[in-house]
Each structure stands twice: as structure tokens, then as C-alpha cells.
Structure 1
């Protein structure tokens, strides 16, 4: 390997690592902002948050790797162009295409690694993250009393305190409603003060009440009418202790097998297997629907004339060969059959739609495995020649250009994927649309950079447009002369 190749590799690796970690940090912050309400105030251990963030890092690799590839390539060749090192490389007899060759090999290795990552590792990460995020969002927030507001997070109780101390351990003027299974509050407790503490094993919350009264209504369970002789108890206390079970605030882990059939948790082989099984079911469903629909379509027996069957292909109208009663019956039967066929089609459509949507999801996810790898090559093919053209390094213009081109790619990819999921486009076109649209741009920028032509030279484009217009005019003039001679 030449020293020039080592120089370009060293100039590329450092910006790539820096931009990769910056992009990953920004994406993690966006993830935290999105789920901040589900994470704050629930008393998670630090390792739970760290596990969730580690899974999210792997998931966000699909967006961080192409963006960092684009930004680092623009920065690398922008720095080389700004310091005139590209000029020295070309003066040494090495073309820009040959200078980029080792970087294309490195990017190809990154792309191959991203493909195997998306096929073997990402489905497992999606499974673990999906189940963990589901449990995190389902977990209740910690027990927290706001002054003057009833708190019903503890099952069977509603607790209110008019005021509390600064550390939250002392509550004043408390009211506690104890609900039975029927939902009515049969027991009510009032206390001037309450002291909150946890049991040694943190399984229970112990509430020590001072100077209060408790009312108990011993009504018969599920009683349908009022009984004037039912027992009503009231007793006062100077000090009492109530224990609340806090097991409902624990985060219970859901079985991961419940999420395994989701399309994002499958690799290529599993997607092919699930897609084939879904196709078999769709084919059988279509056959059943066709058979059931034909049962409602019959030729009415009123197609006759003088007691003999009449050919329905003739131009004679049914009203001309049938009595008014037969004509009325034929119309009623036809309307009833049309309603039955419409209801059948609507019901079968409701049954068919989920499986059709599932089939689209499988196809979209299958193509996504390949688009991640190809997008790295594509964005490098845009960024490297663009950096050589603009010849600006640092974090100024390269960052702006990288964001613009990545937004174009991301917007096209997102809109096309949404259209594919809505069945407006086929999954193949939807997932590859952004790559198909931007590939000519990458080829054009590569041509511009290797030929040392200016990208924003208006005079050059004007001359080419004029030459093209002259060719078009000459073509039509020759065609007119040929038509005139023939005439």
C-alpha cells in the first residue's frame, strides 16, 4: 500500500470516529427526550437505564453509521482540499479515483459488517429492547403525594394530604379511603399527621398515623338494598400503623417469546419462513372467499319464455318476458343477494387486511437488511467527491452540506417507506427509492471531482445547454427537410 493511501486512511478514521460518537450521542438524547415521561419518577435502578441505552445504541446504528460516513468523508476530503494535499496527490501522478480506492475498501467492509449486524444481531437487540421498553412504560410511577390531591396508585386506596414536610416523610391532615372490590369506599380514615417509611425489605410502605378517627361501614357484600340494621363502627386513636403492599410498583419482566414473531425481531431466514406461511394463509383465504362468494350469485329462474328457458344473452329485457310479480321477486332477490355479497366482502376484507399488512411488513423488513449496507456506500460516494469539490474542512460548511444531503436521503426514504407500508408502492420500490434517486447524484459528483470541473460554474452549464438546444433545432430542421423531400 502506498504512503498516500495510508495518509488518506489516517485522515478518514479520526473524523469518522468523532462524528460517529457525536451522532450517536445526539440520537440517544432524542430517544431520552421522547421517553422522558416513561423514565422519570419510577425509581429505576441505574443498570436498567444503562441496559436500555445500550440497546438503543445498537438500534440507532442504522441511522448513525450512514450519517457519520457522509459527514466524515466530506470533512476528510474537504481538509485535504483546503490544505492543497489533493493537489499534491494529483501532482504525484495519483488520480483522485485511485486515492479513494482504499477508502472504498474500508467502507465496503463497514457495509458488509452492517449487513451481518442487521441480520444476526439487530433482531436480538430489537427483541430485548422491545420487551424491556414495554415493561418500562408499563411500570407505575413511585408513590408520590401532592398536597391537596388524591393519590390512587396503591390498589384499593385513595390517599390525600393537605400539606407535607419538605423531605416528604411527614404528611398533615390526611384522608384515606379504602375501596373494596365493588369500588365503593366503605372505610375512611382521618388523621392529623402521618409519618411515611419503608419496611426493611422495601416490599411495604409503613404509614404511622397520629391523632385520628376511623369509620367502618360493615355492609353486606353485593347487597342490592339498604339495610338499616347494618353495623357502623367509629373508633378514635392516638397512634396507629397501616401497612401498604407496594408489589404493584415493581417492574415485572414480560416473557420475550411474546415478541418473537414481530417483523423487527426476525432475521432473513425467519422473515422468509414467516412470509411464506403468511402467503399460504392468504392464498387459502382467497380461495375460501371466492367459493363463498359464488354461492350468492345465481341465475334467476325468471329467464324463461312460454314455459321454456330463455337465453339470457339476448337483447330482450326481463320485464318483457316475466310477469310483474315475477319481475318484482327477481329484483328483490337480486338486491338481497347484492347486500349479502357486500356484507360478505366487508367481513372478509376485515379478516384479510391484517395478514396483507403483515406480508408488507415482512417484505419491508427484508429489504431493510440490505438498504443499510448500500446506504453507507451511497453516502460515502456522495460525501467524498463533494468534499473534494467544496475544499472546506472543519465543522462548518461540511456539517451543513452533510445535514442537507442526509435530510434529503432520510426524507425520501421515510416517505417511500410509508408509501410502501400503505400499499401505495411495492416494498421493493419503497425501500430502495432513496438509493435509486441519489445514485445518479453520487455518479455526477464523482465525475465532477475526478475531472476537476467546477460544480457551480453557471457558464459551463449555459454552454452545454446551448449546445444541446442547437442539436435539437438541427434535428428538427433535418426532419422537416426530409418530410418536404418525401412530399
Structure 2
């Protein structure tokens, strides 16, 4: 490596690593702020909090690394241009392409490293991060209860509209489903409000419910009696429910229960999961079509008509079937047709809703697969945006380059977010959702590199101004004549 290459690479690395750490620290603080409700007030050990931050750090790399590459390249090449170092290089016969050669090789390896990191470290850390969050939630029962959704607490599932008080012990609009040995929700308790009471030294938490109803669906042994759907209903002014939370004392923070999320898999696992989901989507559509054809009896009707045509010489082109049945039979046929049609419509609507969920999950898995490749490519392209841009604006330091770099990156980032949201809902293919922002910066990197290597500005205003100037000069000269 020549002295010039060593100097450029050393200067780049001296800015790259401190800037990477600063941006990572800022985004890590934002992560802590987002998840502060899951950490605060649970008497967690420092080691658990340190694990939380350690597992949360790799998931920030897809944002931190491209931004660091862009800002560093703008700042370094802006400094070179501002301090006339590029002028000295050009006077010695060294072009901008030659000056960028060593850093281009370095950024190429950074892109490969980014792909390997996103394929190995990020899925593993995301798996640990999600499982750690799930385990932390189990530590404090009051924090388990999230308003407006069912929460698993001991041997009950509880949903509340609101919780308030100094320790969130007071609850409003409570719905409870009690767990039982048999599957299903057979016991439901509803109350206007309630209060959680407990002792530090006890494994039992007392839930006091006020002004509610207790519903219990009875399951007789006789099938005939079960058809009557018997149930018991009781109104209460106050109902005390004891919840055993002894299992929360033995929460293993390293337990790994969740491992199938789209962000927890590498390339091979994602490909396998995508194939599985695609088969499920296709099979569900085929099953619906077969079910509809079976229920409407279209195939059997065609078979019967063909058989009747072979056995009879009577024309079967137009047959009014209503003339062959009396009123009672017609009514029975109409009821059967209505029942079949209603069942088919319900089946189609249910399948449609399931297909929407499956396709959304499939789109997420496909975008996660493409994101791993797009990360490395985006780092390389953002370097070829930042380096020539810094050489053109000829301004280094932490002022204008930071502003320009942040604006460029936010534009790139928001385009990616909008594209992914659209792809998740099926508006655009998942491939476009992951690569749209990269496709946009690709021609920009070529344009800026060409303008910088040919010693031109971003825009040559003379191309637009000179024709206007010539027009007015000709008009003035004609008026004088």
C-alpha cells in the first residue's frame, strides 16, 4: 500500500469509528426511551439491563452503518477539497478515481461484512432480544396487563379498558376468561371496575371485582342436552379472585420460546419458510375452490345431464326444473340453495381474511430476505454518493456536510419505509419494497461520481442561463439597429 493510500484510509477510519459510536449511542438512547416502560419499576438486575442493551444493539446496524458511511465520506472528501489536498493530488497526476480506489475496496468489504452480519448476528440477537422482552414482562403482574387487549395472568386471561393509580392497581371495564382443563372459554367474568391487591412476601395476588356478572357455560354429558346450550349467570356486587403467581418467581431470562419470527432467521431459513408459506397460501385457495365445487354440486349436475342426454332423445337444452316439483319441494330446494350459498360466502370471506394475514406474513419474510442483500449494496452506493458530493461542495467538518448527509439519508430511509409499508399490504412486490430506495440512489451515485471526476458542479447553471442571455443580447442589438 502506498503512502497516499495509507493516508486516505487512515483519515477515513479515524472519522468512521468515532462517528459510528456516536450515532449508535444516540439510537441506543432512543431504543431505551421506546422500551423504558418494560424496564422501569421491575427491580431488574444490572446484568439483565445490560443484556437488553446488548441484544438491542445489532438491530440498529442497518440504520447506523449506511448513515456512518455516507457522513464519513462527505466529511473526509470535503476536508480534502477544502484544504486543497485534491488540488495537490491532481497536480501530481492523481485523479479522484485513484484517490477513491483504496476506500472503494474497503467499502466493498464493509458491504460483504454487513451482509454476513445481517445474516448471522442480527437474527441471533433479535431472537434473544424478543425472548428477553417476553420474559421481562412476566416479572411484574401489573405491567403484564396492557389496556384493550387480553393478557395472560396466572390461570386467567384478563382484558381491561384502563388502568390507573400510583402502581396501576385500579382497573376499569374488566373482562376475564378463566382457564379450564377442557379447551375453550366457558367461564367469563365481567366487572365495571376492580383493584389488584398483593403482598411482597406472598405469591398470591387478590383481584377485587366490583359490580359485575359471572357467566358459566354448562357442559352436560348428554348430547341432546348440550344442544340447548345451558349456562349459569350470577350478578355480584363484589367478587374476590385469588391469582397464583408463584411461576413468576422462577422466570428464566435466558429462556428461548420464540424463534420463528421473520427477523430471527438467516437466508436459508427464510427461503425455507417462504416456500412453506407459499404452499399454504396456494393450498388454501385450491381447498376453497374444491369446497365450493363440492357444495354447489356443479360437477355432479354436469354428469347427470350428460347421462340423461344419453338415455333420452328428449332435448335437454332448456329445462324448467320448477315445473317438476310441488310447492313444498320448491321451498325445501330454495332453503337448501340459500343455506349452501350462505355457507359458501362465509367460507370465501373467512378464507379471504386468512389469506390477507398469510400474504402479509409472506411479504414480511420476503422483504427480510432481500433486506440482508440490500444492506451491503446500500453501504457501497452511499459511499459513491457521499465521496463525490464532498469533493463537489468542498466543505468538511461537522457543519454543512452533516446537514446534507442527514437530509440525504432521511430521504433514502423514508423512501424505504414507505415502500416496505406498501409492500407489506401488497401494494407493490416485496422485492420492490426492499430495493426501491437502493434503486433510486444508484443513478444518483453514478451522476455525482461522473460530475466530481470531470471537475463539474452538481448542476451547470450556464446550460440554462446562457441561452437566455444570448436571447436578450440579440433583442437588445436588434432594437439598437
C-alpha distance in structure 2 between counterparts of 1:41 and 1:335, whole Å: 58
Matching residue of 2:381 = 378
Shift of 1:283: 2.9
Q: 1:164-190: per-residue Cα shift (whole Å, max 9, x none)?
A: xxxxxxxxxxxxxx9868869xxxxxx
C-alpha distance in structure 2 between counterparts of 1:251 and 1:140, whole Å: 12
Matching residue of 1:296 = 295
1:263 is aligned to 2:266: no
2:374, 2:434 within 8 Å by CA — same for their partners in 1?
A: yes
Matching residue of 1:439 = 442
Q: Superposition pairs for residues 208-227 of structure 1, below 5 Å? A: none
Matching residue of 2:397 = 394
Shift of 1:412: 0.5
- Report the count of equivalent residues: 387
C-alpha distance in structure 2 between counterparts of 1:292 and 1:142, whole Å: 47
Matching residue of 1:253 = 252
Q: Bigger CA drift: 73-82 or 372-381?
A: 372-381
Distance 1:150 1:397, change over 3 A: closer
Distance 1:332 1:152, change over 3 A: closer
Q: Superposition pairs for residues 313-328 of structure 1, below 5 Å? A: none
Matching residue of 2:85 = 85
1:158 is aligned to 2:197: yes
2:198, 2:205 within 8 Å by CA — same for their partners in 1?
A: no
Per the alignment, in what secondary structure is the counterpart of residue 295 of structure 1? helix
Extract unaligned runs of 5+ from structure 1: 161-177, 185-223, 227-244, 468-487
Matching residue of 2:343 = 340
C-alpha distance in structure 1 between counterparts of 2:326 and 2:469, whole Å: 77
2:138, 2:251 within 8 Å by CA — same for their partners in 1?
A: no
Distance 1:53 1:131, change over 3 A: same
Shift of 1:251: 7.2
Match of 1:366 among 343, 364, 369: 369
Distance 1:289 1:149, change over 3 A: closer
Matching residue of 1:278 = 277
1:405 is aligned to 2:433: no
Matching residue of 2:219 = none
Distance 1:151 1:14, change over 3 A: closer
Shift of 1:139: 2.8
Structure 1 length as normaliser, TM-score?
0.69
C-alpha distance in structure 1 between counterparts of 2:331 and 2:468, whole Å: 72
Q: Bigger CA drift: 1-10 or 380-389?
A: 1-10
Q: 1:245-269: per-residue Cα shift (whole Å, max 9, x none)?
A: 9967757136754211111111111
Distance 1:256 1:47, change over 3 A: closer
Q: Superposition pairs for residues 101-112 of structure 1, below 5 Å? A: 101-112=101-112
C-alpha distance in structure 2 between counterparts of 1:103 and 1:369, whole Å: 22
C-alpha distance in structure 1 between counterparts of 2:372 and 2:52, whole Å: 23
Q: Considering only CA atoms, is the larger Rg found in Structure 1 or Structure 2?
A: 1
Matching residue of 1:134 = 134
Q: 1:227-250: per-residue Cα shift (whole Å, max 9, x none)?
A: xxxxxxxxxxxxxxxxxx996775
C-alpha distance in structure 1 between counterparts of 2:272 and 2:469, whole Å: 57
Matching residue of 1:416 = 419
1:62, 1:372 within 8 Å by CA — same for their partners in 2?
A: yes
| Backbone CA RMSD of aligned residues | 4.1
Per the alignment, in what secondary structure is the counterpart of residue 197 of structure 2? strand
2:75, 2:397 within 8 Å by CA — same for their partners in 1?
A: yes
Shift of 1:396: 0.2
1:43, 1:141 within 8 Å by CA — same for their partners in 2?
A: no
Extract unaligned runs of 5+ from structure 2: 144-164, 171-194, 211-233, 237-243, 471-481
